[in-house]
């Protein structure tokens, strides 16, 4: 394996199996999982409905490619098109979120005949050459070379940067003014790509309505809006099914990308776009592993379970309780700068006490201490991974939320 393929923990763990919101390592120790394979195990580990669908499909056929009719793929595409909010929508499946964002950029640049892309500072969109080229997070950008010209605008981080001191309305106005200034110095770009909540960036987000305000400026020049919903989709944020809906004044995005949670661990990504945009390519294009029968079976079963059990509502209720519990637990702790997020997508940013300087060593130490207490977390952030990331399966119970919060409080209060 390459040197850059990092592992969590000083003594890395091998996860051998899971059930519900818990996983077990190879020594038999059980952990409460507050990271879900990087927001991918969305409903629950070993969810019987998904396991049954995958097993039955594997007994028939696993894969045939998009060159043949594929009923599960069509059925899932129809459901996602309806849920997307995009009129006359078309859906293309990929094998990952990275590939989904690559596809969205291909569509936007071909449709607009421009290779200039607007992106947000502190953003992350995947690990491919193109996706790295639009990622605004230095820790995840191994090269400055790129097939696209990227212009970065303000707004993804509410509590840092030159506009942090402003109230929400003034913050949005300042970001819009910055966007207009950028557009005044370049030929019209193909698109703006943005995460409604920045995932790898540490679960940061702008005030509600920012992207609607951006959209009004962009639409005047025909510039497309791509919502990267790889981490925010499917009700994760609680208040909305899609993260973009917090900015819905001007209607849905032109393109939405998704992945991670829809497969509950199976490799599914995809793009939803208006038909005129999706159909603009004038050459053949397929995804060998996008839309395989076995992954589509998992996605259908998982989406059905999520909707029938109102996991978005559970994310709103239990996530709201969890974030308030964590804010109360961290009140007065000098190393905690901010507890932020919505639904079951919560970030805790750590700084060196008495300063505003990021403290990645403290974040690593808390990660270790939580693991010792039986809790698995993630970390991220645009300032050297100084934010803890909390994103358990959306079926998390109130009792499990309280258990995890207690372990995390002890970890935060332990000596670093």
For 54-76, give the DSSP string. HHHHHTT-S---TTS--HHHHHH
Please give the pLDDT value at position 130: 95
Please give the pLDDT value at position 302: 98
Structure tokens at 51: 């396991």
Looking at the fold, whether 288 and 155 belong to one and the same domain comes out as: yes
Angle at 125 between CA 209 and CA 312, to 5 degrees: 55
Ordered per-residue pLDDT tens for the chain, 416 residues: 999 998 999 999 999 999 999 999 999 999 999 999 999 999 999 999 999 999 999 999 999 998 999 999 999 999 999 999 999 999 999 999 999 999 999 999 999 999 999 999 999 999 999 999 999 999 889 998 999 999 999 999 999 999 999 999 999 999 999 999 999 999 999 999 999 999 999 999 999 999 999 999 999 999 999 999 999 999 999 999 999 999 988 799 999 999 999 999 999 999 999 999 999 999 998 999 999 999 999 999 999 999 999 999 999 999 999 999 999 999 999 999 999 999 999 999 999 999 999 999 999 999 999 999 999 999 999 877 899 999 999 999 999 999 999 999 999 998 77
Looking at the fold, whether 140 and 220 belong to one and the same domain comes out as: yes
* Residue 379 β-bridge partners: 388
Strands 375-376 and 30-33: parallel
Looking at the fold, whether 169 and 252 belong to one and the same domain comes out as: yes
Q: Which positions ≥6 away from 136 have C-beta within 8 Å?
A: 119, 120, 121, 122, 123, 124, 152, 156, 382
Looking at the fold, whether 298 and 178 belong to one and the same domain comes out as: yes
Containing H/E element for 188? none
Q: Is residue 329 within 8 Å of residue 409, measured between CB atoms?
A: yes
Domain contains 185: yes
354 CB burial (10 A radius; 0-12, 13-18, 19+): exposed
| Gap between the Cα atoms of 15 and 177, Å rounded | 48
| Gap between the Cα atoms of 322 and 392, Å rounded | 11
C-alpha dist (Å) from residue 154 to 145, 202, 245? 22, 16, 20
Looking at the fold, whether 267 and 404 belong to one and the same domain comes out as: no
Domain contains 359: yes
Looking at the fold, whether 290 and 318 belong to one and the same domain comes out as: no
Q: Chain-centre distance of CA 44, in angstroms?
A: 17
| Gap between the Cα atoms of 383 and 374, Å rounded | 27
Q: Chain-centre distance of CA 123, in angstroms?
A: 10
Looking at the fold, whether 268 and 323 belong to one and the same domain comes out as: no
Q: Chain-centre distance of CA 409, in angstroms?
A: 25
C-alpha dist (Å) from residue 29 to 12, 165, 287? 13, 46, 39
Looking at the fold, whether 131 and 182 belong to one and the same domain comes out as: yes
Please give the pLDDT value at position 213: 97
| Gap between the Cα atoms of 31 and 371, Å rounded | 8
Q: Which positions ≥6 away from 254 have C-beta within 8 Å?
A: 86, 108, 191, 224, 225, 226, 273, 274, 277
Structure tokens at 392: 């358990």
Q: What is the length of the chain?
A: 416
Looking at the fold, whether 140 and 213 belong to one and the same domain comes out as: yes
| Gap between the Cα atoms of 101 and 118, Å rounded | 13
pTM: 0.96
Looking at the fold, whether 217 and 290 belong to one and the same domain comes out as: yes
**Is 85 in a helix, a strand, or coil?**
coil
Domain contains 5: no
Looking at the fold, whether 124 and 20 belong to one and the same domain comes out as: no
Per-residue DSSP letter, 412 = H
| Gap between the Cα atoms of 64 and 296, Å rounded | 12
Please give the pLDDT value at position 318: 98
Domain contains 6: no
Q: How many CB atoms lie within 10 A of CB 252?
A: 20
Nearest residue to 382 via CA among 229, 231, 202, 205: 202
In this structure, what CATH number is given to the domain that contains residue 64? 3.40.640.10
Domain that holds residue 126: 52-308
Nearest residue to 92 via CA among 73, 105, 117, 111: 73
| Gap between the Cα atoms of 68 and 70, Å rounded | 6
């Amino acid at each position: 394996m390459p040197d850059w393929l990092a592992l969590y923990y000083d003594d890395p763990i091998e996860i051998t199996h899971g059930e519900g919101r818990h996983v077990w390592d190879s020594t038999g120790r059980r952990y409460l999982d507050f990271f879900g394979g990087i927001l991918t195990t969305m409903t629950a580990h070993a969810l019987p409905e998904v396991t049954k669908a995958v097993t039955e499909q594997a007994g028939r056929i696993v894969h045939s490619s998009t060159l043949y009719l594929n009923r599960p793929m069509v059925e899932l595409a129809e459901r996602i098109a309806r849920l997307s909010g995009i009129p006359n929508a078309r859906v293309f499946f990929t094998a990952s979120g990275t590939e989904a964002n690559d596809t969205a950029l291909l569509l936007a640049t071909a449709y607009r005949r421009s290779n200039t892309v607007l992106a947000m500072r502190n953003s992350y969109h995947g690990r491919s050459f193109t996706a790295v080229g639009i990622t605004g997070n230095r820790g995840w950008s191994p090269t400055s070379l790129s097939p696209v010209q990227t212009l970065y605008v303000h707004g993804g981080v509410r509590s840092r940067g030159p506009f942090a001191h402003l109230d929400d309305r003034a913050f949005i106005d300042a970001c819009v003014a910055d966007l207009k200034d950028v557009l005044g110095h370049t030929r019209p770009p193909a698109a703006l790509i943005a995460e409604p909540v920045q995932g790898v960036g540490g679960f940061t987000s702008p005030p509600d309505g920012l992207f609607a305000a951006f959209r009004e400026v962009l639409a005047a020049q025909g510039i497309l809006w791509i919502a990267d919903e790889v981490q925010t989709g499917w009700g994760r944020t609680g208040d909305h099914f899609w993260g973009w809906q917090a900015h819905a004044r001007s209607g849905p995005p032109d393109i939405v990308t998704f992945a991670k949670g829809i497969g509950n661990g199976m490799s599914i990504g995809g793009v939803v776009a208006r038909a005129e945009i999706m159909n603009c390519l004038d050459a053949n294009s397929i995804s060998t592993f996008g839309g395989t029968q076995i992954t589509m079976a998992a996605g259908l079963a998982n989406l059905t379970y999520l909707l029938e059990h109102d996991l978005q509502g559970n994310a709103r209720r239990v996530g709201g309780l969890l974030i308030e519990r964590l804010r109360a637990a961290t009140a007065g702790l000098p190393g905690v700068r901010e507890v932020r997020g919505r639904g079951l997508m919560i970030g805790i940013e750590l700084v060196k006490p008495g300063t505003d300087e990021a403290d990645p060593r403290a974040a690593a130490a808390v990660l270790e201490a939580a693991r010792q207490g039986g809790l698995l977390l993630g970390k991220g952030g645009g300032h050297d991974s100084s934010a803890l990331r909390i994103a358990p399966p959306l079926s998390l119970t109130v009792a499990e939320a309280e258990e995890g919060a207690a372990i995390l409080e002890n970890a935060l209060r332990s000596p670093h």
